[in-house]
Structure 1
Amino acid sequence: MYFILILFFFDQIKSQKIAFGSCYNYEDPESLIFFEIAKHKPDTFVWLGDAAYVTSKTSQNRRMSELNETIIEYKFNLTKYNPGYQKLLNTTQINGVWDDHDYNERDGIYSNPVKEMTRQLFLNFLDVRIDDERRFKKDGIYYSFKLKNTKIILLDVRWNRNPEQQDVLGQNQWIWLENELQDNEVDLFIIGSGSQILPNDRLFIDVWYLSSRNKLLSILKGKNVLLMTGDVHFAEILQDPCTNIIEVCSSGLSYGSHYRNILRGLFEFFAEIFQPDTYSQYYERFADKNYAIIDIDEKKISIYNESSLLYQVDFNKTTSIKCEDLESTPLIFKYFWNFKDKFNAFFSMLLFYQIVKALKLCIILLVLIILCVFGILKFFGLSIIIKRKTNEKIKQKNE
């Protein structure tokens, strides 16, 4: 009897802390980010896609499907046996779904010819049991699990993705999702998707088709729900002004403007500052390497980089954009909401980077000058010594 009461007590105090992220590249083996995630001791870490870039590169540096099963497994293992990830793997439960690069097709859709082979290797990477239904389900690897009174629903946005029908999930997954949302024992639903859901006014971003997005928001109406997404190589906290639904995007674990080449950094810098402010403000977007923590007990959402907290909000955050503004304001003007603040942020950040760059150049020049002076002095000092010794030898010879 006492044993049962003790078990009940520990179940009640069990925390509900979810860490998640996406987009980890095996070319970043020295990253400390998994060690940092492990320090939070989350109840689960959730992959939201691109846990490994198993797609292969052509000579033109384009991504295409990898057909060699051994190479796919090897690339997944480069992530799996990363020391930091092993630390995380040994301290918390790992869950997840895929996106295009671990689905093994760039911007992959339903017609991916290698999805069945890749499915088994991806589930091996997650250590999913051989008899788990995700290995045999005909239309994807979507599933759900619970933490206390919270249900985490992970959607497969690749297996059934159909551009002709503008459908992301496929008929069976839609029906399954609606049934999952009927769970009356759940206080909060958290829905995970490899690609972003809320944005519908951005260029060059792989998001849900508009009809599927609107259908999802309609299904979620009246539900206590959070969305978590990945893919875009920067983090942000979004909110729909019409439903107040919050979307937390964390991407990527290996990508950030401060760590990659100049062109990528420039792109991510402008993504951070000069996105339209429809669903997030400029100060809610971060181009550092990042991961997210959803603390359900504390009702807080946090975005971290490798060393510090970047941003934190409560579940009850509000947006300054009104629902009626979405339709009445042309897209071009949405870029200018909060323009003064964005303008100041742009130049302050630009000035900061210019100062850092100038300091680096000054340090490099100072070191070069010191080396040159040292070299010159050493050269002339050596020449004088050699000349002196030569004169002494000549003098001794003459004597």
Structure 2
Amino acid sequence: MKHTSVLFALLVLFMGCKRKEGKQPLKKEKEQPDFVVAFGSCNMPQEPNSFWDDVVAENPDVWIWGGDIVYADTDDVDRIRAIYAMQDTVQGYARLKAEVPIIGTWDDHDFGINDGGSGFAIKKESQQVFLDFMGVPLDSERRNREGVYASHEFELPQGKVKVIVLDTRYFRSDLIRDEDPRRRYRPNTEDGATILGDAQWEWLQGELAHSDADFNLIMSSIQILSGEHGFETWGNFPDEVEKLETMIVDSGAKGVIILSGDRHISEFSRANITGLPYPLIDFTSSGLTHSYSSFSGEPNKYRVGEVVSDKSYGIIDLYFKEKEAHMKIMGDNGAVLQELKQTY
């Protein structure tokens, strides 16, 4: 009888727990994002890219090229054009292009010369080929100005997103080789040394100061916050970094997020800037078809989380009501390799 009573009591207790558990409200799933940004860099059209179907599945509102769309590395304009044409024949990319707006910038390899800048002999011709590939109309004002920088606005009933695409090649001053064998370049602090050039700086100031967007995304082909590794970075021009940070603060622009590529690694960098009411994040996504798989470490005082050295692309889910950006480094088949959330 004693054992029977114990078993009965346990059964009642178990049933009570089950009833209590069954009455708990189901956890509410997060609402769908209002706007989805997909972006990536470092892509060879002749190499397999397993991500295009995954990008399409994310149902993005825009795809942003972060540079090195192709690897031309030549001063032969026809050769550059032919390699861009090869990218357009990639089946997965063709589907994305048919369904999603494509915008973006170039970097050194599609510009035409590794680590190249303002001295590249055919930069004007290369610019026109790039604009052809991006589908920029022949009567666009972009055809008549130097550099490939541009801004794009996306307005929804819930809010507005502005994407500012920079050109870090056309006007960039010379890099200075570092005598330290562990570093390729050292900072250029000469008077007048620039990344963007006077005209682009003036344009950028206006784009930020007059923006009424809820989120302002700035695409720079090279990293802005990570500046200690000695490769290409805005850190090689420290006065330009300070100028940009000051401009962002003074503009009062909401929700500024930096996107970058180039490095063949992906990572998040985050810095607290005096006068800016939210942290400045630099989301680096690189590369699409090849990555720095042997990466063994490098300094970055602004890094959040770990470096992802696998091939990847970037997704940013934007929520207007919550003023939140959900940033994700994405692998194949929808795998989230790392993520960062920020409220603005």
What's the TM-score bracket when you normalise by the shorter of the two chains? 0.7 to 0.9
Which of 191, 214, 239 is the aligned partner of 2:242? Answer: 214
- The answer as to 2:272 corresponding to 1:241 is yes
Give the 4+ runs in structure 1 shifted more than 4 A. none
Aligned to 1:39: 57
2:70 and 2:53 mapped to 1: Cα distance? Answer: 18
- For residue 171 of structure 2, the aligned residue among 155, 160, 163 is 160
In structure 1, how many angstroms separate the alpha carbons of the residues matched to 2:262 and 2:151?
20
C-alpha distance after superposition, 1:257-295 (max 9, x if no partner) = 5xxxxxxx32x2x1xxx22241114x3310111111111
Among residues 219, 223, 227, which one is paired with 2:253 in the alignment? 223
- Partner Cα distance (1:54, 1:202) in 2: 25
Q: Which string of whole-angstrom CA distances, capped at 9 and with x for unpartnered residues, describes residues 185-237 of structure 1?
A: 22221111111111222223444511101110111115331000110000011
- The answer as to 2:201 corresponding to 1:174 is yes
CA contact (8 A) 2:151 2:162 kept: yes
Distance 1:85 1:141, change over 3 A: same
Change in CA separation of 1:44 and 1:288 when aligned onto 2, cut-off 3 Å: same
**Aligned mate of 1:275, from 298, 311, 315:** 298
Question: Is residue 88 of structure 1 aligned with residue 111 of structure 2?
Answer: no
Aligned match for 1:291, one of 304, 313, 317: 313
CA deviations over 1:307-339 (Å, ceiling 9, x no partner): 31111111239xxxxxxxxxxxxxxxxxxxxxx
Question: 3-state SS of the aligned residue for 2:127?
Answer: helix
2:179 counterpart residue number: none
Instruction: Find the aligned partners of 1:201 and 1:184 in 2 and give their Cα distance.
Output: 31
CA distance in 2, matches of 1:301, 1:177: 24
Matched, 1:124 2:132: yes
1:94-113 correspondence to structure 2 within 5 Å: 94-113=102-121
Q: Tell me how far apart the structure 1 counterparts of residues 149 and 139 of structure 2 sit (CA, whole Å).
A: 15
Contact kept, 8 Å, 1:24 with 1:79, in 2: the verdict is no
Q: 2:87 aligns with which of 68, 79, 87?
A: 79
Which stretch of the first structure deviates more once superposed, 286-295 or 239-248?
239-248
**AA partner of residue 165 (structure 2):** L
User: Which has the larger share of strand?
Assistant: 2
| Matched AA of 2:122 | V
1:126-141 superposed matches below 5 A: 126-137=134-145, 139-141=146-148
Q: Rate the CA distance shift 1:277–1:110 in 2: closer, same or farther, 3 A.
A: closer
> Size of the alignment, in residue pairs?
280
Aligned position for 2:182: none
Structure 1 residues 205 and 162, CA gap change in structure 2 (3 angstroms): closer
Q: Supply the AA of the counterpart residue of 1:310.
A: L
Greater share of residues in helix: 1
Instruction: Give yes or no for contact 1:241–1:279 (8 Å, CA) kept in 2.
Output: no
Deviation at 1:101, TM superposition (A): 0.7
Q: Which position in structure 2 is the counterpart of 1:300? A: 326
1:142 to 144, 149, 152: 149
1:51 aligns with 2:47: no
Task: Say whether the 8 Å CA contact 1:51–1:98 is kept in structure 2.
Answer: yes
SS at match of 1:296: strand
- After TM superposition, the score normalised by the length of structure 1 is 0.67
**Post-superposition offset of 1:142:** 0.7
Q: SS state of the match for residue 37, structure 2? A: strand
Correspondence for 1:26: 45
Q: Cα distance, 1:105 vs. partner?
A: 1.6
- Whether contact under 8 Å (1:16, 1:147) holds in the other structure is no
Instruction: List runs of 5+ in structure 2 lacking aligned partners.
Output: 1-31, 175-189
The residue number in structure 1 matching 2:287 is 252
- Structure 1 stretches lacking a partner, 5+ long: 1-12, 56-64, 258-264, 318-399
Distance 2:166 2:143 in 1: 15
| Relative contact order higher in (CA < 8 Å, ≥ 6 apart) | 2
> Does structure 1 residue 66 correspond to structure 2 residue 75?
yes
Cα RMSD (Å) of the superposition?
A: 1.9
DSSP-derived class of the 1:302 partner = strand
- SS for the counterpart of 1:239 is strand
Contact 2:286-2:311 within 8 A present in 1 as well: yes
Contact 1:15 1:43 in 2 (8 A): no
Who wins on radius of gyration, i.e. which is larger?
1
Q: CA deviation at 1:184?
A: 4.8
Tell me the distance in 2 between the aligned counterparts of 1:179 and 1:204.
30
Q: CA deviation at 1:242?
A: 3.5
Choose 102-111 or 219-228, whichever is displaced more.
Answer: 219-228
1:141 deviation in Å?
1.3
The residue aligned with 1:363 is none
